[in-house]
Amino acid sequence: MKDRIFGVLQRVGRSFMLPIAILPVAGLLLGIGGSFTNETTLKTYGLEGIMGQGTVFHGIFQVMNDAGNIVFSNLPILFAIGVAIGMAKKEKEVAALSAVIAFFIMHASISALISINGGIENMLQGAVADVCGITSLQMGVFGGIVVGLGVAALHNRFYRIELPQVLSFFGGTRFVPIISALVYTLVGILMYFIWPPIQIGINSVGNVVLNSGYIGTWVYGFMERLLIPFGLHHVFYIPFWQTAVGGTMEVGGRIVEGAQNIFFAQLADSGVTHFAVSATRFMSGKFPLMIFGLPGAALAMYRTAQPGKRKLVYGLLLSAALTSMVTGITEPLEFTFLFVAPLLYGIHCVFAGLAYALMHFFNVGVGMTFSGGLIDLFLFGILQGNAKTNWIWVVIVGVFYFIIYYFLFSFLIKKLNLRTPGRFDDDEVKLYKRSDVDAKKKGSSGTDLGDTAVSESDGVAGSKSGSSAGSDEGDGSKEAIANELSIAICKGLGGKDNISDVDCCATRLRCTVFNANLVNDSVLRMTGASGVVHKGNGVQIIYGPKVTVIKSDFEEFLESDLADTIGKETEALRENHKDSIRENNENDTIERNKNGTMESNENNGNGITRKETSITSGGKKILVLSPITGFADKIENVPDEAFASKMMGDGAAVTPRAPIVKAPVDGEVTFVFDSKHAIGIKDSNGLNYIIHVGIDTVKLGGKGFDVFVRAGDKVKYGDTLMKLDLEYLKKNAPSIVSPVLCTDMNNRMTIKLLKEGAVQAGEELFEIEISE
């Protein structure tokens, strides 16, 4: 349990890095733009004539200032998106979209309650903020983190959910934004009541921290360095940088929370005379360490190396030292002496805390984006002027740090005979990274402090065997079926190495293969597919509306090691049985009943049975009207094998000559496909229909379609469903012939075409006869 919690915290920390990664660029824009639009800076350097108000340069720098400032002003939603992406197991883009939806819905719900309860006048001072134009509670990045973590949990739980047939279009990834919207409506209501006391508690913690003086600053610096080997430092410092734990201050007429936010708000405010040290105390201590201390340690390791190995050690350590000095990225140096001499790292942590305390003591007001290198020191210290930052103390303290690190590390390396690079004949000369440290911990304890439980690259727990371990408990049988299905699809497509691309539309899994001759249709139909269509190297496997779940499972499977094994097995099978595979593909046919439709009670070999739609009324006839004015024809004449062979159902085809598409039956809209080219309707008898406008129109991405209904809408005969841009569709679609299908055909149902040739929308198109 401890390792599992530890692993989750590591992933949370890593997920913070996605939004944090944009801060250097935003800080660069804001640092340069803010500096050269600041009247004090321009006067100091005599640049008013060149860069003063009204000049071209002033306009450019003002744009840079505003471009950088917008990032820091909207960090909550960036954290919501970044955390959701970082914590999602698969289909991360869906998690990102769902996080945006949930974020806005949560704050809109809070805003509504604020309005209902008398507006901001009845709220505590400083408790209300403008969040992306919404009047909401002052939640800062905590609000974004709450959304990101919650949406990721919902996403990982539901992104492969299978719903009943009538709702299957909303299954899989499409269900995630739906459930996120519903949940975060409730979360918003809940937050309105519980966040104010939480905010008071956070402010109290912040006051304790701010009143802790130099000792508190030392503890912060010590802990920040100490947690780096465990990957938890992001979890530690983010509350100080981005929330009221790091302080609250009014800047430019608005309340700003968090040390980093306060610094950058002051940077954008030309009226600030000295940056608040109460905020920069959580940042400025890095500069003496990164620019001076660690290069001193690098020199000590170089000088204590064997003379014969110094040339090799020189190249490695010089590169690492320059990286630390310029960018503030310290991993190569810190992890090297952490790996070979943990004692040195412990001393380093003590001096880190002291560096923060000294910068606090000398009133240094230099902030940063995420690192303490020369770039940030120049932008946010030197460029701002010593009067505003006291940056000169970074250099003074830094020189002493270089000397102390050099002599102390040299003494300890020699005295304790530590294995720093180049010290021993049998040692490999290298710098170490986090992966080396993790591997050492795993080898010594048998547990990788949670990293084996949670993969850094994709977050899938356990081994990469393709079994999707790490999904929700109790879902094993469902996962086993999904995995078995994916294995069969992979084999049927000729193995992983033969698969180039995977996508889906409303009903089909669309795959591109390198060699179409290696595809085995018999295997693919055993997966429960209604049929398989070949178009050059394109293979379309017909599954119906549940295809989105199948696609998600299959893509996840293809990233596993098991998929590589299947590829090798299939390669061996091809070598040994090429002739039999070719014969199977040539002779394989789709079994149909006398009406030309698939038998609906077919077992797919994986324990998945497609059941008949229950039609209780016998001997009845159901009329289906033409949804479009145009030219009616038999379904067999559709220029698409899947439709023409009735793999997806039976009905008729209409070539549109007028742009309006109307409801062919009374019923309920069950889905509108993302690309708008297909609409599903369920009638009062429980039968499902699809109106599919054009062939391969899914590739148009919604262009040419204007849809007026959505899933769940009740419709009557003749209600307008969508409007078509016929000229655009004729130019860009392979065909505008539009199948109108009943997808629930079984052996008691037959289709009678009532109209061929010219047809008006609302005329009888075909009749479904249901025998007793």
Q: Which residues are catalytic?
A: 505
- Around Cβ 398, how many Cβ atoms within 10 Å? 21
- Amino acid, res. 174: R
Query: Do residues 217 and 357 lie in contact, with contact meaning Cβ atoms separated by under 8 Å?
Result: yes
- How many angstroms separate the CA atoms of 206 and 282, rounded? 12
- How many angstroms separate the CA atoms of 92 and 103, rounded? 16
Nearest in space to 671 (alpha carbons), one of 117, 153, 259, 168: 168
- How many angstroms separate the CA atoms of 472 and 154, rounded? 11
- How many angstroms separate the CA atoms of 561 and 355, rounded? 47
Query: Do residues 205 and 142 lie in contact, with contact meaning Cβ atoms separated by under 8 Å?
Result: no
- How many angstroms separate the CA atoms of 551 and 509, rounded? 7
| 3-class DSSP string for 362-395 | CCCCCCCCCCCCHHHHHHHHHCCCHHHHCCHHHH
- How many angstroms separate the CA atoms of 547 and 553, rounded? 10
Give exposure, 38-50, as e/b (b: 16+ Cβ within 10 Å): bebbbeeeeeeee
Residue 402 Cα distances to 288, 289, 314, 413, 615, angstroms: 8, 9, 18, 16, 84
Query: Do residues 766 and 646 lie in contact, with contact meaning Cβ atoms separated by under 8 Å?
Result: no
- How many angstroms separate the CA atoms of 174 and 158, rounded? 9
Residue 128 Cα distances to 12, 69, 137, 138, 217, angstroms: 27, 20, 4, 5, 29
Strand (E) or helix (H) holding 435: helix 434-445
